[in-house]
């Protein structure tokens, strides 16, 4: 049963569209633009403000082959190496090959990637890349992309954009292989009403689940909502144990972690332990520009060996004028927090950054639940494998969004008849129990700490099993609360995070090997044959 709060009688469907898009980052907005151009009625729903997305926070940029000194094959090989044997090579090849065309579309929308004096792109370099290939807008690439896409959306009167509408659950119809999507219940955040949307197609572009961890570079919205919703509706979730830890977030005394882009190491920054040693050459031939999993584990190992709460990042060989120009946001934020990039070593630690697994899709963003699509960090196409190559995520989002729009058009043409089928009604049980409400805030903290302590960079079976027991207890309490009281965004996010935490652990326990970002001391070797981990519910 997807949802224990439904009464099976005809519901007043408040709104009806061909396509609903959940989330307003690069994946959702790119897809919405393409879908409306194909003549569909489209609504975008976002749980906060339209610009509150993970995309907005992306610093590094978008990886694509645009330089004569680079080539597609090199980008493919870098992606495959980082993915540690688990990437789907066909998918990698198609996405990388499509990159330059999709990048050009962003340029056509008005995006101004940084250029050299000779007007060639000023390409950045990041870990695991064998060439300079990161198109960037200084260290605010995500924001520039988000702004350009939102401007384009505002020019499309046929796209309805709803802010502060929180998708609760997908509505499906039929049984077994005939199950298909029929719509969505969504919470109107400001007044607590639940609205029923009818739509034959839903695109999940809700981003990742970094906030399931105590320390994360992600914004607060990254609570894995789309993954949890898709799971409850019976879609396959794949390879969710691969949570990427970014090696360098600024260490502060509170829970907040500010990302220091890998592009800073791309411009020569060096990691040092507290003894001042540049330690990365001891771990990998590419030293500070080794793939992310290797750098994050090396930092973890240095910190454990010395008992230090952080390592240092050193870019003091660059002067202030250069750093202010190339990394304006990082420079300014560090300054506000008391660090001068040109003079001071920065204390840095790894933090949860990117969800490499997710809702399983093909190259067209189709999941195995008919009518349900997923694109961006919420999805698992097979591009990232066991460890995403830096800046490949924005690339994946634009390529899949493009292909999904064509697939959706074919799907809608075949399923026009869905509009007449009944939809079960949502029941509002009303009220909150203030005495029990404390369970929610307490459970938020406990869940994130459990994930950080037991399902982090270095794993053991024993710790994973401990985490499984704790999360199961939390999930029971949260579910009781969900069943008996009115829903609100905090409760819905917590419910989703608890589900995602359970799925991460379940996938991690399936993987009896170390591969990519999944490092487990009981199984230090990588198996010869790479297989996917999978979870699904039977609604």
Which secondary structure element, helix H or strand E, spans residue 237, and what is its range?
Answer: strand 237-238
Backbone angles phi, psi at 17, to 5 degrees: -140, 160
CB of 289 to ligand SIN, least distance (A): 11
Q: Are 83 and 114 in contact (CB under 8 A)?
A: no
Measured at the CA of 110, the angle between CA 104 and CA 111, to 5 degrees, comes to 70
CB of 517 to ligand SIN, least distance (A): 13
Tokens standing for 1? 């049963």
Using the minimum distance from each CB to ligand SIN, give the nearer residue, 225 or 262: 262
Using the minimum distance from each CB to ligand SIN, give the nearer residue, 170 or 356: 356
Task: List contacts with ligand SIN (CB under 6 A).
Answer: 59-60, 261-263, 354, 390-391, 393
- 519, β-bridge pairs: 458
Radius of gyration of the chain (CA): 22
- 374, β-bridge pairs: 204
Using the minimum distance from each CB to ligand SIN, give the nearer residue, 79 or 393: 393
Strand boundaries in 3-46, DSSP class E: 6-7, 15-16, 19-22, 42-46
Cα atoms in the 13 Å half-sphere on the side-chain side of 121: 26
CB atoms within 10 A of CB 449: 15
Using the minimum distance from each CB to ligand SIN, give the nearer residue, 59 or 79: 59
Using the minimum distance from each CB to ligand SIN, give the nearer residue, 91 or 263: 263
Strand boundaries in 293-444, DSSP class E: 311-314, 346-355, 358-360, 372-374, 379-380, 425-426
Backbone angles phi, psi at 446, to 5 degrees: -65, -40
Using the minimum distance from each CB to ligand SIN, give the nearer residue, 233 or 390: 390
Q: Are 245 and 516 in contact (CB under 8 A)?
A: no
Tokens standing for 360? 């399983």
Residue of 88, 292, 326, 468 marked catalytic = 292
Distances in Å between the alpha carbon of 271 and those of 31, 293, 349, 403?
39, 15, 11, 40
Backbone angles phi, psi at 22, to 5 degrees: -100, 115
Which residue, 133, 173, 162, is CA-closest to 28? 162
Using the minimum distance from each CB to ligand SIN, give the nearer residue, 206 or 391: 391
* Residue 232 designated active-site: no
CB of 59 to ligand SIN, least distance (A): 4
Using the minimum distance from each CB to ligand SIN, give the nearer residue, 219 or 489: 219
251: three-class secondary structure by DSSP? coil
CB of 388 to ligand SIN, least distance (A): 7
Q: Are 488 and 429 in contact (CB under 8 A)?
A: no
CB of 92 to ligand SIN, least distance (A): 16
Q: Rounded distance, CA 326 to CA 530, Å?
A: 40
Tokens standing for 532? 């996917």
CB of 27 to ligand SIN, least distance (A): 14
Question: DSSP letter string over 63-77?
Answer: E---STT--HHHHHH
Q: Rounded distance, CA 24 to CA 163, Å?
A: 9
Using the minimum distance from each CB to ligand SIN, give the nearer residue, 262 or 302: 262
CB of 106 to ligand SIN, least distance (A): 16
Using the minimum distance from each CB to ligand SIN, give the nearer residue, 261 or 367: 261
Which secondary structure element, helix H or strand E, spans residue 249, and what is its range?
Answer: strand 243-250
Q: Are 222 and 209 in contact (CB under 8 A)?
A: yes
Q: Are 380 and 360 in contact (CB under 8 A)?
A: yes
CB of 252 to ligand SIN, least distance (A): 18
Q: Are 20 and 199 in contact (CB under 8 A)?
A: yes
Q: At what angle do helices 489-510 and 461-484 cross, to 10 degrees?
A: 150
CB of 222 to ligand SIN, least distance (A): 13
CB of 396 to ligand SIN, least distance (A): 11
Residue number of the CB closest to ligand SIN reads 60
Which residues participate in catalysis according to the annotation? 292
């Amino acid at each position: 049963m997807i949802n224990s709060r439904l009464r099976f009688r005809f519901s007043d469907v408040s709104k009806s569209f061909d396509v609903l898009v959940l989330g307003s980052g690069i994946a959702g907005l790119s897809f919405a633009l393409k879908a409306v151009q194909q003549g569909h009625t489209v609504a975008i729903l976002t749980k906060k403000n339209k610009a509150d997305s993970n995309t907005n926070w992306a610093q590094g940029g978008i990886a694509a082959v645009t330089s004569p000194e680079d080539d597609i094959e090199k980008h493919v090989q870098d992606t495959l190496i980082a993915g540690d044997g688990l990437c789907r090579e066909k998918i990698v090849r198609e996405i990388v090959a499509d990159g330059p065309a999709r990048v050009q579309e962003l340029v056509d929308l008005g995006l101004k990637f940084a250029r050299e004096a000779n007007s060639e792109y000023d390409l950045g370099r990041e870990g695991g890349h064998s060439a300079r290939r990161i198109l960037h807008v200084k260290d605010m690439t995500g924001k520039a992309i988000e702004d350009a896409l939102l401007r384009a959306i505002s020019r499309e009167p046929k796209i309805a954009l709803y802010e502060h509408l929180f998708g609760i659950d997908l509505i499906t119809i039929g049984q077994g292989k005939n199950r298909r999507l029929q719509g969505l219940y969504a919470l109107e955040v400001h007044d607590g009403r639940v609205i029923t949307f009818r739509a034959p197609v839903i695109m999940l572009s809700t981003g990742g689940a970094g906030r399931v961890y105590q320390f994360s570079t992600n914004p607060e919205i990254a609570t894995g909502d789309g993954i949890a919703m898709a799971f409850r509706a019976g879609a396959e979730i794949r390879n969710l144990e691969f949570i990427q830890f970014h090696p360098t977030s600024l260490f502060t005394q509170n829970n907040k972690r500010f990302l220091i882009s890998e592009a800073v190491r791309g411009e020569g920054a060096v990691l040092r332990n507290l003894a001042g040693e540049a330690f990365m050459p001891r771990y990998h031939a590419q030293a500070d520009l080794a793939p992310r999993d290797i750098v994050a584990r090396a930092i973890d190992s240095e910190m454990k060996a010395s008992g230090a709460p952080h390592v240092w990042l050193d870019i003091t060989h660059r002067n202030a004028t250069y750093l202010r120009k190339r990394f304006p946001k990082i420079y300014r934020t560090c300054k506000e927090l008391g660090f001068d990039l040109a003079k001071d070593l920065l204390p840095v630690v790894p933090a949860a950054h990117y969800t490499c697994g997710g809702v399983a899709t093909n190259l067209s963003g189709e999941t195995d639940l008919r009518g349900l699509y997923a694109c961006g960090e919420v999805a698992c196409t097979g591009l990232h494998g066991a460890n995403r190559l830096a800046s490949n995520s924005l690339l994946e989002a634009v390529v899949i969004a493009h292909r999904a729009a064509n697939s959706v058009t074919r799907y809608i043409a075949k399923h026009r008849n869905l509009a007449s089928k009944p939809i079960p009604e949502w029941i509002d049980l009303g009220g909150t129990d203030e005495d029990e409400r404390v369970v929610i805030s307490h459970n938020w903290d406990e869940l994130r700490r459990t994930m950080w302590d037991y399902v982090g960079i270095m794993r053991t079976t024993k710790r994973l099993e401990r985490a499984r027991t704790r999360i199961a207890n939390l999930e029971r309490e949260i579910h009781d609360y969900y069943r008996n009281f009115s829903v609100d965004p905090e409760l819905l996010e917590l419910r989703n995070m608890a589900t995602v935490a359970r799925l991460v652990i379940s996938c991690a326990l399936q993987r009896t090997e170390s591969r990519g970002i999944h490092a487990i001391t009981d199984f230090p070797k990588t198996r010869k044959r790479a297989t996917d981990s999978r979870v699904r519910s039977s609604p």
